Structure 1
Amino acid sequence: MLLAGGFMAVAWAIAIAGGVSGPDARWRTPVFVVSIFAAGFGAVLLLGRRAPTWLLFAFPSVTAVLICTPPLVSQESTPAGSILLVWPILFAGYLLPERIAWATLGVSLGLLMAMALRVHSDGTVASCVEVGLSLVATAYITVHLRRHNRTLVYRLHQEARIDALTGLANRRAFDDLLERDFTLYQRRGDPLSLLAIDVDHFKRLNDRAGHPAGDAALAALAAVLAAQVRRGDIVARVGGEEFAVLLTDCPTGVAQHRARALRAVVAADSAAWPNPITVSIGVATVPAHADTPAGLVTAADTALYAAKAAGRDTVATAS
């Protein structure tokens, strides 16, 4: 719109300069400048691979100026022409920062006020007031809907990363956090340990007491694990009865000690539950047992299988 409107206005300005009837001479230079600027603006947006941020931010206001330039120069205005100001406000409200939307509204209202003062025709002031109220309502509704949508997107994003039963991070979130912490390990060199935790004989519990009882045990176990880790450590439910604890800046010896403490706390606390449980834990550390995130998970799982093979309710460390 800027490109086409700009070139049309340029042609009009040239025609006026050539003697065609139109606004008086003092308006010809401003019209010509606005036309050239609008045409260049549109060309950059259309032809440029990536427009500068300031150019995108200025786009709605420049569009509003281009829309209002003809009626300001010709001193003739129509409601249909003025209502086009809704489009730059919609663009700014949906696609640009909120402050740009309000700035565009301010520019548009200022242009409407200038039109009401300059254009001398019946109903011009009333028309500008009506259009101005429409613009205010459009800006408010657009910004409100965008805030609401942003809240919904954030909530959906969080729900997609949180296990519904336990409130812990799910497998997707755990994988992302593991990649993040592994990157930090590569930068700083601090050891990173992983505890792979599995509930012993969980299928037997479900068969004996029912799935609601199994879900209650998992939720209670999640609460115990979350209460025992340090701030900055990650607890996640990565499978049915499988949990993972990611320990930052934690060498193998400390991770083994914390794994044994967790096993003992779970056994002691669950003794008072309707269905007591025990857990087996596998311990692995970067760089002692792996040098990639996937390798760390594999090493911890292998150690977990060794703990279960050793009789369960115990801790084993990757070799």
Structure 2
Amino acid sequence: MFITGVVLTDTRTASVVTVFGILTVVLTLGGVVCRRRPDRLPRVTWLLAPFFGAAMVSILNLFTSDASIGAQFYYLWPVLYSANFLGRVANYLVLATVSAGSAMVLFPVEGANQGLSDWTSLTVAMIVTAIVVSSLRLRNDRLREVLETQAYADPLTGVANRRAFDGELARAVAWANRSSVPIALMTIDIDYFKKINDTWGHAIGDMALQAVADALRSVARREDDVVGRLGGDEFVVLLRMDRMEARRAADEIRAAAAAIDSLPGGPPGLSIGVAVLPDHAGNAGELAAASDAALYEAKQGGRGRTAMAHPPTSTSIAV
């Protein structure tokens, strides 16, 4: 703005220099705040930004009676911004604002005939630009979704992998500590999974893993519930519930696994360890350790069992 409005202009007057100088300073400071402290600005700022930009370009062009291509070129900034960051409706409104602002400048300065020609060319160019940029943004969003799915989902079962589950567990623990609502973590192993692989082959072992994952998902069906596979035959389930509800959920998981009829060796047995925050732990690491310890108790008790963790001062028992 300073270069085009002050340095390069042929009609440099005191009023023009003053207006452009003040606007340059104000907008530069605003840009610094947006760049360095975006959290200090209300969310509506990012929605209003392209409309403010389009209005500013129109006002300055009208103020200087500048209908040149260079002056109209600045309308690209609000169009590119909205196409990259805002939704479809906002894009339409920004294009309408740019078109109206351009008409407000071109028709008075150039007259009806030349103004209509330049206004039509500018409007079409801005629409095409918005379409191209929006299409590229959509493709980029889809690619990012695919990459995120590949990065955070177990490829065999489709449930969360260890990396994704660790993040979900940390967020759930932080939420539970803030809201004082309990969360339950179940650690689950398929009993004698190596025997399934050795007897029926790894293809059937993979089918068993997929069937167990489906059984876990059938119980962890609420929006905030999370099912993950940590590796091998070890699964985890994160539920927002207390100790008694977690015990009932473990029974539901056991019943869902018992209903699996797609495996030649029959439904797989499960050993389940359950720990609840804050009953058995105060942070994510303690909760995972308590659930692992309860799972160990279930296995030591003969497998095919559910063990509920005890507070840190006690030991876990199998039930």
TM-score class, shorter-chain normalisation, is 0.7 to 0.9
Q: CA deviation at 1:295?
A: 0.6
* CA displacement, residues 50-103 of structure 1 (integer Å, 9 cap, x when unaligned): 475278445531553267347x626xx544554453344223322456555444
State the SS of the aligned residue for 1:273.
Answer: coil
Residue 284 (1) aligns with residue 283 (2): no
Q: Of 56, 60, 63, which aligns to 2:53?
A: 60
Report the alpha carbon displacement of residue 242 of structure 1 after superposing the two structures with TM: 0.9
Distance in 1 (alpha carbons) for counterparts of 2:120 and 2:220: 62
Correspondence for 1:275: 265
Using a 3 Å threshold, how does the CA distance of structure 1 residues 34 and 101 change in structure 2: closer, same or farther?
Answer: farther
Shift of 1:222: 1.5
3-state DSSP of counterpart to 1:197:
strand
Shift of 1:239: 1.9
Is contact 2:272-2:305 (8 Å) kept? yes
Whether 1:238 and 2:230 are equivalent positions in the alignment is yes
Q: CA RMSD in A?
A: 3.5
Number of the residue aligned with 2:253: 262
Q: Is the 8 A contact 2:2 2:21 kept in 1?
A: no
Structure 1 residue aligned with 2:312: none
- 2:218 matches 1:219: no
Partner letter of residue 275 of structure 1?
A: G
Alignment match, 2:13: 14
Paired residues of 2:187 and 2:273 also in contact (CA < 8 A):
yes
Query: Which of 181, 203, 211 is equivalent to 2:172?
Result: 181
2:141 maps to what in 1?
A: 150
Equivalent residue number for residue 4 of structure 2: 5
Report if aligned partners of 2:185, 2:276 keep a CA contact under 8 Å in 1. yes
Q: Which moved more, 1:194-203 or 1:163-172?
A: 163-172
Distance 1:78 1:144 in 2: 29
* Structure 1 contact 3–39 (Cα < 8 Å) conserved: yes
> Which residue in the other structure is 2:27 paired with?
42
CA displacement 1:203-233 (0-9 Å, x = unmatched): 2322332222111111111122222346354
Residue 239 of structure 2 aligns with which residue? 247
- Report how many residues are paired: 299
Amino acid at match of 2:80: L
Instruction: Give the distance between the partners of 1:47 and 1:260, measured in 2 at CA.
Output: 57
Q: Name the CA shift for 1:152/1:292 in 2 (closer, same or farther; >3 Å).
A: same
> Given residue 249 of structure 1, which amino acid in structure 2 is its aligned partner?
M
Larger C-alpha radius of gyration, 1 or 2?
A: 1
Asked if 2 retains the 8 angstrom alpha-carbon contact of 1:5 and 1:39, the reply is no
Instruction: Classify the secondary structure of the residue corresponding to 1:238.
Output: strand
Percent of residue pairs identical: 31
Worse-matched range after superposition: 211-220 or 168-177: 168-177
TM-score by length of 2: 0.76
Equivalent position to 1:86, from 66, 76, 93: 76
1:161 partnered with 2:160: no
**Structure-2 change in CA distance of 1:125 and 1:247 (3 Å):** closer
1:185/1:191 contact within 8 Å kept: yes
Q: Distance in 2 between matches of 1:4 and 1:172?
A: 50
CA offsets 1:8-29 (integer angstroms, 9 cap, x no match): 48994426xxxxxxxxxxxxx7
Whole-angstrom CA distance in 1 between matches of 2:128 and 2:147: 28
Secondary structure at the residue paired with 2:259?
helix
CA distance in 1, matches of 2:168, 2:261: 32
Summarize the Cα distance change of 1:188–1:68 in structure 2 as closer, same or farther, 3 Å threshold: closer
Gaps of 5+ in 2: 310-314
| Partner Cα separation in structure 1 for residue 206 and residue 171 of structure 2 | 30
| TM-score, normalisation: structure 1 | 0.76
Unaligned runs of 5+ in 1: 16-28
Q: Distance in 2 between matches of 1:40 and 1:57?
A: 19
- CA gap of 1:84–1:189, structure 2 versus 1, over 3 A, is closer
